[in-house]
Structure 1
């Protein structure tokens, strides 16, 4: 059962658990996903954006193609506020900063992405320290992706030498999960024009 934070005739906001795909994969064993589970109850539910399989948190879906187009436009025009919470390895020295590194797919090592200053697409992430744990040698941060590239937050933090805890794809030590959670989502209702904002506490 997928927990819903909000539902009306135009959209629904779901809580994606870590380990579940946002959309179906190509193989038969990868058909179970958030949108399939939602469509079992709400047949008109359609994907607007995605979270990595290993990421948990807030995921917006439209109800019907017209609403999907309207909400997708907000993402394309960067009118959607997104904030993530993460645990990263090591202790960040600064209290805040940003990473501005262009990204592209690392074709021989898909789905891995890589920094490429020539062919990469622009990618910008702002980060801020919430707490430092000297004993565990990790830092809790909020991450704000200004762009929405695949694996952007994961690769940008790894590029600082502070990969997200559990993110072995980007050279972190193994853990029970990748400690990355979509904790805040803000956008405009496509019908009423009302400002909507949702928050979800990180489960780690």
Structure 2
């Protein structure tokens, strides 16, 4: 018997604007604010989203990837079906290079390393996922320490996810004992309240231009 999952979550209203970093006839690069859904939810109260806002101005806009509600930063938006198919294939083949900046609770000891821990959905704690060596899907994240901070005791890191599992960076941060500050799902009440937002920002994105094939490197400065 399969349990029915009911999602009663309603996203708080987001007053921040989407900033367009680059615009062409084929795609957009935008800076998504923290607190805005990437795609509208099934609940009609969750209509506001990146996609909902963009199609008011760019009717053919479609998402080829998403960022979590609390994550800010760079997103790539297709403006026609062939470009969507091309970019989606690049994500599928893992030829898109992404980096994030985050602030973690406590001091991470090693200056760099790789977190290699499979991730699976947690059917008992929707919408959470969990580390699961037996049934999880492969998940790998490289990290580099940028700065160790004292107040609060925390570490600024740059993350490079080699896979794209749901909540991967948040779960891997918790797995190594250093939850992302401001995270409501993977951490403690103390680490959740240590920041007024999820301290995770999509900083860089590298991909092949869907028409010319030229390698593109886009960057969006971290706001924290």
Q: What is residue 180 of structure 1 aligned with on the other side? A: 200
Moved more, 108-117 or 140-149: 108-117
SS at match of 1:18: coil
Q: How does 1:64-143 map to 2 (within 5 A)?
A: 64-143=80-159
Rounded Cα–Cα distance in structure 2 between residues aligned with 1:50 and 1:95? 29
Specify the alignment match of 1:153 in structure 2.
Answer: 169
CA root-mean-square deviation: 0.9
Corresponding position: 1:192 with 2:208: no
Richer in strand (by share): 1
Alignment match, 1:202: 222
The answer as to whether partners of 2:180 and 2:187 remain within 8 angstroms in 1 is no
1:24 aligns with 2:47: no
- Please, which runs of 5 or more residues in structure 2 have no aligned partner? 1-16
Instruction: Quote the Cα distance in structure 2 between the aligned partners of 1:127 and 1:73.
Output: 25
Q: Distance in 2 between matches of 1:198 and 1:66?
A: 21
Moved over 3 A (4+): none
**1: CA distance between counterparts of 2:34 and 2:18?**
12
Aligned mates of 1:94, 1:23 — CA distance in 2: 36
1:135 Cα shift?
A: 3.6
- Inter-partner Cα distance in structure 2 for 1:156 and 1:149: 10
